[in-house]
Amino acid sequence: MQTKKKGLFIEIIIPEKWADMSIETLLKDYWKVPKKLMHEWRMSKDVLVNGLAIPWNTTLPKDAKLLLPVYKSNPTSIEATYMDLSVLYEDDHLLIINKPAGLETHPSKPNQTDTLLNGVAYHLLLEGHDGELRHIHRLDQDTTGAIIFSKHALAGAILQRMLEERRIKRSYKALVHGKVLKKKGTISASIGRDRHHATRRRVSPSGQHAVTHYKVLQYDSKKDLTLIECSLDTGRTHQIRVHLSHLGHPLAGDTLYGGKPIFHRQALHAYQIKLTHPITEEPLVIHAPFIDNKNVFSE
């Protein structure tokens, strides 16, 4: 799919598979654009085809130039803070960052300005972008790896739906205590809050459904640590940490869930994201290299 940023608009060349769709069908049925955003665009008459505002039931001809006012959304309320970011992927629609340890994904209290979202806001401000900014998922403060951010509301809405439909595949590497005997397996155990601890979660029949798949990569007999790969069907808070602790193999360094403090943080890294681009529809496979592998991971 060919796209190009033009001021406050994105220009998309209509591909053959969209020919004979109307603007209404494309936005409402194909992209499932949120009603509020569709209403804004309909009222502003800013959706243009070959430079003209045409009725939304008009058929889109192949190779026509569709202009969408994606950057006319409300400005972000996130305060920009300078950070030295590791950018894994970036285009006009989304940004993928390799998050370091010790950094929250987004503000969790009023006036907080030291999170990754604040750093991304600064990065985009340097590009002249001050529109809607959204983190599509999150990582714990001391977990490293790839996080997706959207640059406009349309990409954000599509990515959020893709995440809910499990069409964004996130893979993690983790070091756990002990020798994991099963080479691969699935942990299906609901997760809820621990009423005895403000931040801790626990396996609970009354909690939220949670499924983690794992595969053993290697075992270090000297350190009694197993390197495993994990993927998630669900995205519950602390899911991998809770599930592996429940399995009897807590993450190394994860003292909250029974790990020994042999590292300065829990040994968990989101090393790969696979998805179909929300706008161009090209397949993306993004790898996040270990940030502090000398201290935590060994490749």
Rounded CA-CA distance 226/251 in Å is 9
Number of H helices, E strands in the chain: 5, 16
Would the CA dihedral through 212, 148, 1, 52 be positive or negative? positive
What does the block give as tokens for 192? 């809820």
Q: Choosing from 46, 114, 130, 140, which is the catalytic residue?
A: 140
Rounded CA-CA distance 231/24 in Å is 36
Nearest to 9 by CA among 65, 80, 76, 77: 65
91 classed as catalytic:
no
DSSP state of 239: H
Rounded CA-CA distance 26/49 in Å is 13
What does the block give as tokens for 113? 């300005």
Nearest to 121 by CA among 134, 108, 140: 134
Q: Which are the catalytic amino acids?
A: 140
